Structure 1
Amino acid sequence: MSDPSWTTQEPPELLWFEQVNYVSVAIGSIAYGIHIVIFFMCAYYLIKENKQGNWRWLAFVFTLFGLGTLNICFNLHFNQMAWVDKRNYPGGPLAFLLEQQNVPINIAGNAISAIIPFLADGLLIYRVHVVWNRWWLIVVPILAWLAALALGILTTVQAAEPNSPLWANSTVNFALPYFSLSMALNILLTILLVSRLLYMRHKITSTLGAQYGKTYTGIATMVLESALPLGLVSLVFIVLYAIHNTAELLLLVLLVQVQCISPMLIILRVTRGRAWSANSVDDAQISKMRFNSANPGSTTAGASRGTGEMSMITFKAGSTSQLRSKDSDFV
Structure 2
Amino acid sequence: MGAKDPSYAPTGVTADDLKAERACFHGTLLAALAFGALLMLYVQLTQVLLVRPKRGQTFWAIVAYSGALFPLAVLSISVMFKFSEMSYIENRNYPGGPTAFYRDYSSDYVNVIGQVSETLFPWFADILMISRLLVVWNYKWWIAAFPAVTYLTKLGISIPVLISQLRPRDPTWLARAGAFGTSYYSVTMAFNIYITVMICIRLQSMRRDLETVTGRLHASFYTSSFTMIVESGVFFTVWVTVYLIMRSRGSLFQNVFLLPIAFTLGITRMLIVLRIAQDRAWSKDLVTATDRGVLDWQVSSTHSVPLRDNPASSMTSFSNKGVLPRKFQGDSIVLNQM
Same fold (TM over 0.5): yes
Partner of 1:52: 56
Measured after TM superposition, the shift of residue 21 of structure 1 is 1.3
Partner of 2:334: none
- Pairs within 5 Å for 1:213-252: 213-252=219-258
Partner of 2:324: 316
1:78 to 2:86 alignment: no
User: Can you list the C-alpha shifts for 1:77-126, whole angstroms capped at 9, x where unaligned?
Assistant: 11111112223433443421333333222232222222111212110000
Partner of 2:315: none
Give 3-state SS (helix, strand or coil) of 2:56's partner: coil
- Pairs within 5 Å for 1:92-107: 92-107=97-112
Partner of 1:325: none
Cα distance change, pair 185–301 in 1 and its aligned pair in 2 (3 A): closer
Asked if 2 retains the 8 angstrom alpha-carbon contact of 1:148 and 1:178, the reply is yes
Partner of 1:293: none
Measured after TM superposition, the shift of residue 198 of structure 1 is 0.7
Distance 1:13 1:180 in 2: 26
User: Can you list the C-alpha shifts for 1:223-244, whole angstroms capped at 9, x where unaligned?
Assistant: 1111111111111111111222
Number of aligned pairs? 302
Distance 1:106 1:320 in 2: 53
Measured after TM superposition, the shift of residue 279 of structure 1 is 1.6
- Pairs within 5 Å for 1:33-182: 33-50=36-53, 51-53=55-57, 54-132=59-137, 133-163=139-169, 169-182=175-188
Distance 2:154 2:70 in 1: 22
Distance 1:59 1:207 in 2: 34
Distance 1:164 1:192 in 2: 41
Which residue of 257, 268, 291 maps to 2:274? 268
Give 3-state SS (helix, strand or coil) of 1:274's partner: coil
Measured after TM superposition, the shift of residue 159 of structure 1 is 1.6
Give 3-state SS (helix, strand or coil) of 2:169's partner: coil
1:7 to 2:9 alignment: yes
Asked if 2 retains the 8 angstrom alpha-carbon contact of 1:82 and 1:93, the reply is yes
Letter in 2 for 1:115: L
Cα distance change, pair 300–35 in 1 and its aligned pair in 2 (3 A): closer
Distance 2:60 2:21 in 1: 43
Partner of 2:283: 277
Asked if 1 retains the 8 angstrom alpha-carbon contact of 2:236 and 2:265, the reply is yes
Distance 2:170 2:196 in 1: 33
Measured after TM superposition, the shift of residue 24 of structure 1 is 1.0
TM, length-normalised to structure 1? 0.84
Measured after TM superposition, the shift of residue 208 of structure 1 is 4.5
Distance 2:56 2:24 in 1: 44
**Structure 1 residue runs without a partner (length 5+):** 288-296, 305-312, 322-331
Letter in 2 for 1:258: T
Which residue of 1, 17, 22 maps to 2:20? 17
Asked if 2 retains the 8 angstrom alpha-carbon contact of 1:70 and 1:109, the reply is yes
Distance 2:256 2:231 in 1: 26
Letter in 1 for 2:80: N
Distance 2:42 2:217 in 1: 30
Asked if 1 retains the 8 angstrom alpha-carbon contact of 2:239 and 2:257, the reply is yes
User: Can you list the C-alpha shifts for 1:105-161, whole angstroms capped at 9, x where unaligned?
Assistant: 223222222211121211000001111121222122112101111101110012211
User: Can you list the C-alpha shifts for 1:170-218, whole angstroms capped at 9, x where unaligned?
Assistant: 2111111111001100110111111111111121234554323322111
**Structure 2 residue runs without a partner (length 5+):** 295-301, 310-317, 330-338
Q: Considering only aligned residues, what root-mean-square deviation do their CA atoms show, in Å? A: 2.6
Measured after TM superposition, the shift of residue 20 of structure 1 is 1.1
Letter in 2 for 1:124: M
Letter in 2 for 1:318: R
Partner of 1:211: 217
Letter in 2 for 1:74: V
Letter in 2 for 1:189: I
Measured after TM superposition, the shift of residue 272 of structure 1 is 0.8
Structure with a larger share of its residues in helix? 2
Cα distance change, pair 118–156 in 1 and its aligned pair in 2 (3 A): same
Partner of 2:314: none
Asked if 2 retains the 8 angstrom alpha-carbon contact of 1:101 and 1:163, the reply is no
TM, length-normalised to structure 2? 0.82
